Structure 1
């Protein structure tokens, strides 16, 4: 009987081989066992060594596990960003032959990308063929040119869209959560390093997709959290919508020096209806009853003129946006509300001030006109009814002002007649001056210059900005005050 060969025990093997108690051939940059199973190796990625040692699962002696990670179908519906985020194939082009598990991930990615480019992209732009083409062709091209976080974002939105069609599909649930978790992680890291010319477009597009995802995720709140209601506080306001859309505004304002010449961003911005707000407070408008009694409310805030002024401006601006969007809802104008209201208005919502809640109920009623859009479907009815549940039907002051949003939210029909809606959107749209679209860019120019003034600590620059854009002094100064409030800029007399 030949003598047994001597065995030299190695302590330099990779983390995964050690955890599985198998011999590692110590080949760099990826050992033979990790290459065979198509998994990451800490020789290749030392920074993730701690994540490469999952608990060992015993297997029968006569069977072999095809890979080291569990199958997709066995994962929980809401995975964390680190443990179960899919490994996108576009990040590791040098991967060896795929294992059965990574093939599932690969097929899911291809499925999501195909769905995005054929269907989902068409739903991100409302009545704008130019924007639709950008979302379909230009955005994926940019995403796969080094903007991994943008690629993850479009896959996340595509997964959520497919999930709206098949809400019980556990693989889609996992994908929508995982890709968005990966997006937020990398997006936050990039923002932390600063916005520059090379990443400004990708960051803007990613912020927009995050806003879409935040809005659409509300559809599945009952599935993921059990209910739309918190057991202690009742109906939960979708404040994340405001935070995500306000984030888009912040990205635009802080990177406008590069975005103003972008062939991607400018067409998207110009496809939005131009803001034409009446901030004078003179004359009756459709929603002017929401401002009745505001003086009495302000008097209850104490002797703080700054707080009273910011609160009045927050209410006036929000109602002005409602009046404007109410006339042209089919253009997507109601969505502007989320990004344009001031931070003070969001604070008032968090405080559940009745006036702010009534304004919000009217806003959600406007979305009834966009009920055919998948990520807005059912929003009007669900959110209006939720807000109304916070009021007492015997409240003579506010209950009458909730009747219009209630009537709209509960309306059963595809087309809301003008006499019920309170305006004729088709006629209003026909009268819109298309040349006024440049007003959107001018508005952003103003916002960007004020943002720069804040960053550079140059309050005197605000006066120059005001003079340059003061077409109508009274209106423009009111608009500037609203923007200053939104950016927390010290006001200059």
Structure 2
């Protein structure tokens, strides 16, 4: 028998590594005890109690909030999202669930007799119905009614995943106002994990007429969860480029969350297309009205496509067309959102860009990152929304930090930097680059009409509609085109 490989025992490792028992599972992955953030925590993108002692409190075994259900206490296994059963969804579709900021340990459903948990649940439900539901970018009394009344009532009918999603979003909202409240930290983690577990289990059973509405609403709330969790990430604008622990993490949860909603819509459209509830929520976003000439005279972001031919010349021939279309479509969406009088139009970007564009962001292509910086700059007009507070500045400056000094892309980053650092949400037209028409409608033709048009063109076949939404390939074609300048 070969001699046992020698190794240094980790006696002063961080709490997270000890909880995960890294040194027992693999000796080469034991805590390296590097301060202020150990290598394993850097690798997994999670807080380390070396730099944030309060993390140790979060990792301590705690009772999680009580469930709406009165089912006896049973453990919930922590496992990756469960893929949809074959044949239950349209071919080629799988639910895209956002990664958690961090997951609670020892997640169990406590007994409903626990008074502290019951009070927390009542507190969260009160917060949601009276405050949080009004902050989900509603633009009409009809949408207010959906989020404040219809959604909770639907959850009370026994849809555990929707109930937990409601409580999770409310916990995040309260946590944003009380960041030092450990009970809220644990509640937000626990309800987020429970939401994903129940949601994926329901998807595995299949989407049908009875659960399609609830699954769509849950997917939407999961998107809010994922985006809102970013506001608790460490501010990296002052990060030391030589310190690996201070690296900026790409905002990929934005794409995963919103593309997950798109996947659910594509998979369940035959059932939810006649739902007044779903129609109200989807139509709260304006329909895309894209100019098909992204480099025309009236294109504000056309400069982001400069040198595209040279970049494509070095691309894999099989990916050349897809890459070019992905960039072009992303710039078209930016141009449209920039001119829209409806600030929330910018949120269409992460849900409509192509999967290829997301891959380019993951690869840290300079052009993709510059486009992404412009998207986050557009969110500056919604800086007063709690789950978007300071997001524009944090994300833009984080992305800017990924560019090397002297990069040719710096001139393309001047506008997003200027907007992200602007004081306030009212930006003068000469700074924004466009003067809005006060008489123009805030929210033009709704998004449902575009989905209906695509469904009609595709013969209402779910798999073809899913292809049109395109979760894995090229961007969907713009459905309404303005005349090129």
**Coarse TM-score class (shorter-chain normalised):** 0.7 to 0.9
How far residue 241 of structure 1 moved from its aligned partner, in angstroms, is: 1.1
Q: Distance in 2 between matches of 1:412 and 1:99?
A: 48
Aligned counterpart in structure 2 of residue 297 of structure 1, from 311, 324, 347: 311
TM-score by length of 2: 0.72
What aligned pairs does 1:72-83 form with structure 2 within 5 A after superposition? 76-77=57-58
**Does structure 2 conserve the Cα–Cα contact (< 8 Å) formed by 1:275 and 1:440?**
no
Bigger radius of gyration among the two: 1
User: What runs of 5+ residues in structure 2 fail to find an aligned partner?
Assistant: 1-53, 74-109, 477-485
What aligned pairs does 1:94-493 form with structure 2 within 5 A after superposition? 102-222=114-234, 231=244, 234-281=247-294, 283-284=296-297, 285-304=299-318, 307-328=319-340, 330-395=342-407, 397-425=408-436, 427=437, 430-432=439-441, 437-438=445-446, 440-443=448-451, 445-446=453-454, 453=461, 455=463, 483=468, 486-488=471-473
Query: Which structure has the higher relative contact order (CA within 8 Å, separation 6+)?
Result: 2
**Does structure 1 conserve the Cα–Cα contact (< 8 Å) formed by 2:294 and 2:331?**
no
Change over 3 Å in CA distance of 1:415–1:385 after alignment to 2: same
1:17 corresponding residue in structure 2: none
**Does structure 1 conserve the Cα–Cα contact (< 8 Å) formed by 2:354 and 2:473?**
no
- Cα offsets for 1:23-49 (capped at 9, x unmatched): xxxxxxxxxxxxxxxxxxxxxxxxxxx
1:458 corresponding residue in structure 2: none
Length, aligned pairs only: 382
- Cα offsets for 1:403-424 (capped at 9, x unmatched): 0000001111341101100112
Change over 3 Å in CA distance of 1:87–1:433 after alignment to 2: closer
Q: Distance in 2 between matches of 1:153 and 1:292?
A: 43
Change over 3 Å in CA distance of 1:78–1:373 after alignment to 2: farther
How far residue 331 of structure 1 moved from its aligned partner, in angstroms, is: 3.8
Aligned residues: CA RMSD: 3.2
Change over 3 Å in CA distance of 1:243–1:445 after alignment to 2: farther
Change over 3 Å in CA distance of 1:315–1:148 after alignment to 2: same
Runs of 4+ in 1 over 6 A off after TM superposition: 98-101, 227-230
Q: Distance in 2 between matches of 1:84 and 1:363?
A: 40
How far residue 228 of structure 1 moved from its aligned partner, in angstroms, is: 12
Q: Distance in 1 between matches of 2:456 and 2:162?
A: 23
- Cα offsets for 1:313-348 (capped at 9, x unmatched): 111111111111111264410111111111000000
How far residue 391 of structure 1 moved from its aligned partner, in angstroms, is: 0.8
Q: Distance in 2 between matches of 1:165 and 1:451?
A: 48
TM-score by length of 1: 0.71
